[in-house]
Structure 1
Amino acid sequence: MLRRIHPAAADGVGSKSSPRLAWITDPHFDHATLETWRCWAEELIALAPDALIVTGDISEDEDVAYQLEYLAETFERPIYFVLGNHDFYGKSIGSTRQGIIAVARDSEQLHYLTDEGPVFLSPEAVLIGDDGWGDASEGDYAGSTVRLSDFDRIADFRPDAPETWQAILQREGLASSERLAVKMAGLPEQARHVLIATHVPPFRQACWYEGHVTDDNWAPFFVCGQMGRVLQDAAKANPDRQFTVLCGHTHHDGDAVILPNLFVHTGYSRYGTLDIESLIEIDADGFQVPRAF
């Protein structure tokens, strides 16, 4: 069952006419020094956002929960997040989710969007999200030479049974897309602007690497195609509603216009550094996602 919250009333984000949201993606806190973390935190506090959005790859194993709790203690703001593939390292997918659900439900500040219904940021603007997964629905899975660390580090992928991996990838992508579809189907008519937080780019056009989009070799593991199809269907069915997607995973940034009302922003990351991808504002035209501020 989804955790149902109306932050416009519960946690104060919707109390301003135009809340500002700091977007962070793929921080990999386990690779950052304490000094790097401190400088990054000071910069973020100085910007005074109303909330934080984190689009996955927070850390690994038990450190994921620790980092989330430390973020909550440090920033004293609502923190909306999804998990990335690295966040499942050291455990199974199911046990990781259950553990993070428990941590988030025990905190007033932590909001695991995969486990939550729509979050109203203003009367017309709503935030939803789900982890997503590179779901082997795009590109050439059978011919790919890519072998992710996921297959060695996540318990669901048995190293002695590679013939099962594709089905697991497809299962996770389908589950994410179905959860997201339910959330979008339940949005009220006044929700004109929808912000979607996820980890894996839902479209090839948004899967960036060094200024280019992915090829057939990498696409099976870096695109959540089933989520992309759900998003396209929703955008086509609601031409007067704007959909803005935030994602990461590739560690390279770029913007993609999928449809006139469907935009995808992919964030940048580099191991050992911590960045603030954007300070997002909401205006009459929807979510504004500047890359420099």
Structure 2
Amino acid sequence: MPRNRADPPHRVSLRRHDPSQPIDESPENDSSYRLAWITDPHFDHAKLDTWRRWADSLHEHRPSAIVLTGDLSEGDDVAYQLRCLAETFEIPIYFVLGNHDFYGKSIAQTRRDLIDLTREVDNLFYLTDTGIVIPRDGFAIVGEDGWGDATQGDYAGSVVSLNDFALIEDFVNAAPHDWQAMLQREGNEAAARLTQKLSRLADDVKHVLIATHVPPYREACWYEGKTTNDDWAPFFVCGAIGDALTEIAKSNPSRHFTVLCGHTHHDGDAEILPNLHVHTGYSRYGTIDIESIIRITEQGFQVPRSTGAKKATET
């Protein structure tokens, strides 16, 4: 929600959750489970009327939970937006962070602040910090921020310069020749955290939904109907997560992995392996969209991408 800086903070009930324990959110009627997927909303760019129309539209779908795949806003406004969402939608809200969410702070401080927030607010779950969510027997949801980790494309020869390097404290306070190693470290740490979560899945889990911000593969990094080139790939693909997912999917051929991501602001679908599919979401500054209303069926997580499921709200 666009913020009136004079507004007092929202008051919410308090509950602590243990990130090491699976969260069982199974509804009484499994067939009614709807997961609303939102990516790159950039709430700070939307007018109040746009936010309200989007919220009304989302309420009409009666989702059981919401999953946000990053770039909610910037700086302290990220926490404000999450509080607004938690108060507006009294359902579980699962989120990961995108690069914009770290603007104005360090990576570590941003994560600490939002982990603290999730310990205070009942229905907020930061998936990078949270363990495994069980929406129904045999199904699981996990998540990880991810990062454009400079492992794909031509980092040394790229002419791309992101605002990240001027607006995230870690990069501002480091020499440019250290940035590539820092990006690779973020990617490796993200892959390690995700691998640990996936290694703890129970044997009966046959369908896994993975929420992340940065596409894990070049094949899933879309722009105007085409996949990325060598200039953009270093900053728009998290190769370490892609490598980890490929290995895990190959080792578990009877388990299906569905990945949701954003970051590119252009949508597309990619089949990496028969049991590994990646859906990349659409976004445009000033609008807030419902990327998909995901349903759980016997076939797994169904991620429709029709125009009926996506209701863009213009400024």
In 2, the alpha carbon distance for the partners of 1:64 and 1:172 equals 20
Q: State the partner residue of 2:28.
A: 15
- Map 1:104-253 to 2 at 5 A: 104-158=118-172, 161-253=175-267
In 1, the alpha carbon distance for the partners of 2:254 and 2:174 equals 49
TM-score by length of 1: 0.97
Q: Secondary structure at the match of 2:172?
A: coil
Instruction: Describe the superposition over 1:26-70 as per-residue Cα deviations: whole angstroms up to 9, x where unpaired.
Output: 000000000000000000011100000000000000000000010
TM-score by length of 2: 0.90
Instruction: Describe the superposition over 1:145-176 as per-residue Cα deviations: whole angstroms up to 9, x where unpaired.
Output: 00000000000002771101101100100010
Q: Percent identity?
A: 61
Instruction: Describe the superposition over 1:1-47 as per-residue Cα deviations: whole angstroms up to 9, x where unpaired.
Output: 97134432xxx444331311000000000000000000000000111
Q: Which amino acid aligns with 1:240?
A: S
Q: Which amino acid aligns with 1:133?
A: W
Q: Is the 8 A contact 2:296 2:302 kept in 1?
A: yes
Q: Which amino acid aligns with 2:38?
A: I
Q: Is the 8 A contact 1:193 1:286 kept in 2?
A: yes
| Moved >4 Å (runs of 4+) | none
In 2, the alpha carbon distance for the partners of 1:101 and 1:14 equals 26
Q: Which amino acid aligns with 2:19?
A: R
Q: Which among 11, 15, 20 is matched to residue 4 of structure 1?
A: 20
Q: Give the number of equivalent residue pairs.
A: 290
Q: Is the 8 A contact 2:41 2:289 kept in 1?
A: yes
Instruction: Describe the superposition over 1:119-159 as per-residue Cα deviations: whole angstroms up to 9, x where unpaired.
Output: 00101110000000000010000000000000000000027
Q: State the partner residue of 2:9.
A: none
- Listed as ranges, the gaps of 5+ residues in structure 1 are none
- Listed as ranges, the gaps of 5+ residues in structure 2 are 1-16, 310-315
Q: State the partner residue of 1:281.
A: 295
In 1, the alpha carbon distance for the partners of 2:227 and 2:269 equals 11
Q: What displacement does 1:108 show?
A: 1.4
Q: Secondary structure at the match of 1:264?
A: strand
